[in-house]
Amino acid sequence: MQSSWLNTTMMKTMNNSSYMQQLIITTLFLLLTVSPVTGRNYYIYVTAESQDEVHVVKFDGEKATVIKDIPVGVWPLEIEGPHGLTISPDGKYWYLSLAHGFPFGHVYKYETGSDKMVDRVELGLFPATMQISTATGLLYVVNFNLHGEHEPSTISIVDPEEMIEVKRVETGVMPHGSRLTNDGLKQYSVAMMSGTLYELDVLQFDISRTLFTGRKKQMNMQGSMDHKNSMKKNTMHKIPKEKPTWVYPHPADTHVYVVNNGTDNVVEIDLGNWAITRQFKTGKGPYNCEVSQDGKYLVVTYKSAAKTGIWDLNTGQELVRLKNTRRVTHGVVISPDSRYAFVSVEGIRGEPGSVDVFDLENLTLVDHAEVGKQAGGIAFWKMED
């Protein structure tokens, strides 16, 4: 029917020899024959640590926009420092670590969408990064502990339904970055002032292996007894220069990638051999990293350089090093379709923070959204077509 109508209309236009009519018919033809482009919206949560706010950012493939500001904390005259963020596997809840407690920090539970606070639980000193295991359903939170002497800290294991801490497991000094394998069976965390990667067996509720994140020092141990003995010795050692800040597993759960902030590199660790297999020399002050779900890209934030590096994991080469819109680059999260990387940038002094959006296919900065001061923790919520 459309073809017949077009033929008739086009004949009339030709007979009239009207330029305007020809233009109208051409436009109609294009509208009827060209398939519409389906857009996709991406939603993330990001913290503003010096403003006690969490923002919801929407990105439509072209423009990033803050669509909601969520005040957090319970002390209106104090900065409580929202730091870590994670979304439950079913997408129904988000969890937030408020680091500066009296004296201990808390993890808060909120509903996604409504962003209504559900409950909270008190944990250790300065709770930081966290994630829920798909195998146990429990939430694993590292307690960074910025206060006092350099001494071993802990991982808090929390029941996210009841918001009750069920156990604490001792690790190293100032554990910060932590992530679970995709099967949910192992949790990996790194302690900055111990220079060590820790593997937590989520079924055994204990540390199963540890590994020094540098190449020169030999520190490869299995079993909780070896770990505890090593920690007693570690407390007397000088601070390692590696200062690891982040760890992220490959989607195939064969390797993890550890960011050594102090030595400006990322090391790839083979989980089968429990050894470093590759080293990526980065920009100055690498801080966080993430691997795309298709296994192609490693995205690393360079905190001191105010840049973001995109690496090809197959070749081990850095594809591009892009400047961020603010100083002090912080966290990164990649969309599940492996298309975009969302990077939180703190800013300096009175500047607002920002969320920078990078296109991983075209290797470009697409857009950014201004958020609150000291943008930090960042988590991907959902995609919508």
Q: Which two tokens stand for residue 236?
A: 């007397």
pLDDT above 60 for 229 = no
Give residue 75's pLDDT band: very low, low, confident or very high (50, 70, 90). Answer: confident
pLDDT (0 to 100) of residue 35 = 34
**Structure pTM?**
0.86
pLDDT at residue 14 is higher than 60: no
Q: Which residues contact 301 (CB under 8 A, 6 or more apart)?
A: 286, 287, 288, 289, 308, 329, 330, 331, 332, 343
Residues 235, 173: Cα–Cα separation, whole Å: 8
29 burial class (0-12, 13-18, 19+ CB within 10 angstroms)? middle
pLDDT tens digit string along 264-292?
A: 999 999 999 999 999 999 999 999 999 99
What digits encode the pLDDT tens for the residues 136-167?
A: 999 999 999 877 678 999 999 999 999 999 99
Please state, for a pLDDT cut of 90, what percent of the chain lies above it.
77
277/23: higher pLDDT:
277
Average of per-residue pLDDT across 327-340: 98
> Maximum Cα–Cα distance for the chain, whole Å?
95
Domain boundaries along the sequence of the chain: 1-32
CB atoms within 10 A of CB 293: 14
How many degrees, rounded to 5, is the angle at CA 179 between CA 177 and CA 180? 160
Name the pLDDT band for 218 (thresholds 50, 70, 90): very low
**Averaged pLDDT for residues 225-235:** 48
**Is-contact 263 192, C-beta < 8 A?**
no
pLDDT at 88: 98
Of 275, 270, 265, 207, give the one whose Cα is nearest residue 241.
265
* Cis amide leading into 103 (omega within 30): yes
In the numeric block, the tokens 């490959």 are attached to 250
Q: Give pLDDT, residue 248.
A: 98
Give which of 157, 190, 195 is closest to 176, Cα–Cα. Answer: 190
> Residue 81's pLDDT band (boundaries 50, 70, 90)?
confident
β-pair partners for 41: 384
Strand ranges (E), 124-264? 127-132, 139-143, 154-159, 164-170, 175-180, 186-191, 196-201, 206-212, 220-222, 244-249, 255-260
In this prediction, residue 101 carries a pLDDT of 64
> Any idea how long the chain is?
385
Model pLDDT, residue 227: 52
Element (H, E) at 30: helix 19-33
Rounded to whole angstroms, how far apart are CA atoms 245 and 342? 19
Contact 343, 359 (CB under 8 A): no
Range in 10-14, 83-87, 113-117, 333-337 the model is least confident about: 10-14
Whether the per-residue pLDDT at 19 is higher than 70: the answer is no
pLDDT surpassing 80 at residue 79: no
Using the predicted structure, report yes or no on whether residue 200 has a pLDDT greater than 50. Answer: yes
pLDDT tens digits for range 38-55:
489 999 999 999 999 999
For residue 379, give Cα distances in angstroms to 9, 16, 306, 361. Answer: 53, 60, 20, 21
